Structure 1
């Protein structure tokens, strides 16, 4: 069996990458997929890649969101709280200084209340900060600041009590030696805590930025892998479909070029495999059709050759029959001339008998002349009988020819029926030949019948002439009975004349029938020539059909 891939042997097919050890199973699985399944599989791979990218993006986005919330709650909120505490402390100190420098007691009292309010808010913010989630270092630094701040608030109360008690010298000394250092210490500890919180916020932001970069990288890698897998699968599907469609295209192109040789179809259970098997089935049916046409064309050529030979043979037979009919016509002419001569002799014999009645003395001479004339008439009648026998032989030959023509026409009709649609015209010609043969047979039967009549008449004439001879001889013996003999001879000659006239009419009719036979044989020859022409046309059609079929290779 010829391979589906032209120019490649079975060993090459076995070495084909589709069935090799590397990747063969995957491509075989792809070949077994339908077109719809292949497209859906390609879309599924792309969809899976998109889902993977989306899932990784969602996970990384959630992680980034968690990191942002953590930065907000663990870095930005504590740092903002510390900044608020710094602002409150500075506002409280400013109000405290304003309280010390104010000359108006009401303003001094208001500044003092404002400073107390700010410091109370500092205490509240410190408590809020303690409730936040911060690092251990920040938690320890806040605890230290909270202790220092509590100490500062106690010292501030003591300073206010000294001032309110009017102990200005002690108050100033307490402020410079105790309260101010405590304030400075608290501010420094708070600044250190702010610095630590800022460092934590910077570190958290850097981690978030690193996590975002990692998420971008992960998404890019997953996207690249998904696109690569989708591309590889699409390439595999496309290469498989392209190879199989190219193989199918080669088969169709070969069929278009007339190559119908058997090839191996695609055995995959999908649309392309089904198309390949359908194309190979169509090629097989066309191959069988071409083989059948080639056989029929050869048979038609052989039958047309045989028909040409039969037509030539029929033409020769009709020509021979025509020549024989011509000979018969000539013989019939001779018979007619003989009959007319006999009639003339009979008339002369009647005249002689009448002369016998007039002159008895001339009876012997007349009798001698009558004997001689009767002898000649008998010879002519015998010739006429022989010619009739020859006509009968010719009629039998024509009958045999007609039977042979009828047999040839029957064979031609059978061959035309075998030829089918292209032999209908020849079947009509063969039918006409058969009809002409049958008409020829009928004409020859009529000729035979009329020849038998002529033979019967000639035999009668021979017998009559023999009787004339006997009568003439009796004339010599019976001179006394001349009168009665004359009457008898007169009656006899009258009957003979009548019979001879009938014989002459019969020979004329034979000539007419022979003319009809000539026409029939001429028509038969024309039909045979038409059959030969038809056979030539059939041979030409067969040659053209052979030329058309020879274009295909099967």
Structure 2
């Protein structure tokens, strides 16, 4: 799959963030721990505010409860006790009116009870006034005109009771008692009305205080609920914002991971925040970019390796074919070298025979000088020997032609071997050196055989001259001594030449044998090289297959 454009913006610059330095941006860039701690801190602040409001509300409600309790205990109870003592006082008066006191003891008991009732009423009234004073603003409406009217009317009632009704009751004068009671009833009624009005004010104060406590309880409960709701809304907003930020970052990272699992390297998280998830997303984007670049490099390398493997395989096949051809040529050269060696052995034998013939000629020439008298016989013998020399020279010429032909063929084979060695390159360098030496030896053999040919032609010419001289020997026997010196010199020169030719032929035979041995080694090396090249070809094929498989694997990715 062809790669897309490079991911130039895969990793944002360090310190970059969306939204500048706004609170939302700062919160997004904060770490996960900071986000969690901010939520916990917000919860703690909300809990603290709710706790403060609740504590304050409880203190207020507790104060109202204490005030209400004091109002109930110190005010309502005492005014109720005053009312109760007022009723007891009236009941004592009613009892005296209904059942006149007959004895002094009854009068005394009645007066004692009345005095106790008056004492209790005064004590309860004093406690009531003390309770009002203690409660302060709560009882501002109490102890006012109604209470003053009660105390004044009750004092007037007591005065009428003590001055008129008690003496009438003590004397048993019921009519006087009733008249005094009727006269003082207005004061009693005023006192009762004022006391009931004061009790109404006490009940109203108690109700107001209860309503105030209930209102404050409702207010502070509502305030706590509102603060709790606002705090929870704030905490929930922070939590939702944090959860949304974290969820988005996790989803972006998951999107990249899921794309990586599918082999798609083009997807990035786009993370820009500096928190842990943002840095993780940026690191993942950087890793994706590096992996994408690596995949591009691997794909390019796999393509190059595949191409190089194909070229190497073709070159390997060509070199293998050259090595096989070189092996075949080396086998041919080895066979030719063996043939040259055998032919040179035959030439060496012919050279030995020619040397023996020349020694015989020298001996005959010496005998001719010594036995000049027997010139005719010697001439015949010389004619015969020279005839044989002609034949031998002819044979030597034939052998020399064979050697020359072999040397030319050897030189041609050496040239072919040099060309094949050049084709083989480094593997044929040693073979090229040996082929060069063979060519040089062949050229030296050609030069030596050319020299031998020249000398053989000279011998043949001399032999023909000797034949002509022998034919005239009968007429010029006296000139034998002159020719004898010339023949002796020629024979010595021919002997030296023949010996040199024999040594050259022997050396050529030895060199030919060495050439055959070296060519056999070259053939073996070429065969070994062919085997190595075959193994290398198999390795190259395997390398090409591996490169193709690697390329196929890389192609599964999108980058």
TM-score range normalised by the length of the shorter chain: 0.7 to 0.9
Q: Within 1, Cα distance between the matches of 2:28 and 2:273?
A: 6
SS in 1 for 2:144: helix
SS in 2 for 1:509: helix
Q: Deviations over 1:177-196 (max 9, x none)?
A: 33455445534543443344
Q: Which residue of 1 aligns with 2:60?
A: 63
Does residue 1:77 correspond to 2:77, yes or no?
no
Q: Which residue of 1 aligns with 2:85?
A: 88
C-alpha change, 1:374 and 1:154, in structure 2 (3 Å) is: same
Q: Within 1, Cα distance between the matches of 2:522 and 2:449?
A: 24
The range that moved more, 108-117 or 35-44, is 108-117
Q: Which has the larger radius of gyration?
A: 2
SS in 1 for 2:266: coil
**Are 1:343 and 1:497, in contact at CA under 8 Å, matched by a contact in 2?**
yes
**Are 1:42 and 1:230, in contact at CA under 8 Å, matched by a contact in 2?**
yes
Q: Which residue of 2 aligns with 1:42?
A: 39
SS in 2 for 1:136: coil
Q: Within 1, Cα distance between the matches of 2:446 and 2:271?
A: 88
Q: Within 2, Cα distance between the matches of 1:27 and 1:114?
A: 85
Q: Within 2, Cα distance between the matches of 1:129 and 1:262?
A: 87
**Are 1:471 and 1:485, in contact at CA under 8 Å, matched by a contact in 2?**
no
| Structure 2: 5+ residue stretches without partners | 9-17, 365-377, 471-479
Q: Within 2, Cα distance between the matches of 1:281 and 1:219?
A: 51
Structure 1 residue 380: Cα displacement: 2.0
C-alpha change, 1:192 and 1:265, in structure 2 (3 Å) is: closer
Does residue 1:124 correspond to 2:127, yes or no?
no
Write the mapping of 1:180-329 to structure 2, written as runs, cut at 5 A: 182-183=187-188, 185-261=190-266, 263=268, 265-329=270-334
Q: Within 2, Cα distance between the matches of 1:2 and 1:485?
A: 99
Does residue 1:529 correspond to 2:534, yes or no?
yes
C-alpha change, 1:222 and 1:486, in structure 2 (3 Å) is: closer
The range that moved more, 489-498 or 29-38, is 489-498
Q: Within 2, Cα distance between the matches of 1:300 and 1:165?
A: 144
Write the mapping of 1:388-537 to structure 2, written as runs, cut at 5 A: 388-401=410-423, 405-406=425-426, 436-448=427-439, 450-451=441-442, 454-455=445-446, 457-458=448-449, 461-462=452-453, 465-466=456-457, 468-469=459-460, 472-473=463-464, 475-476=466-467, 496-497=501-502, 499-537=504-542
Q: Within 2, Cα distance between the matches of 1:2 and 1:526?
A: 48
Q: Which residue of 1 aligns with 2:151?
A: 146
TM-score by length of 2: 0.76
C-alpha change, 1:152 and 1:493, in structure 2 (3 Å) is: same
Instruction: Name the Cα RMSD after superposition.
Output: 4.0
| Structure 1: 5+ residue stretches without partners | 5-17, 20-24, 407-435
Structure 1 residue 320: Cα displacement: 3.5
Out of 527, 546, 549, the residue aligned to residue 551 of structure 2 is 546
TM-score by length of 1: 0.77
Q: Within 1, Cα distance between the matches of 2:417 and 2:225?
A: 113
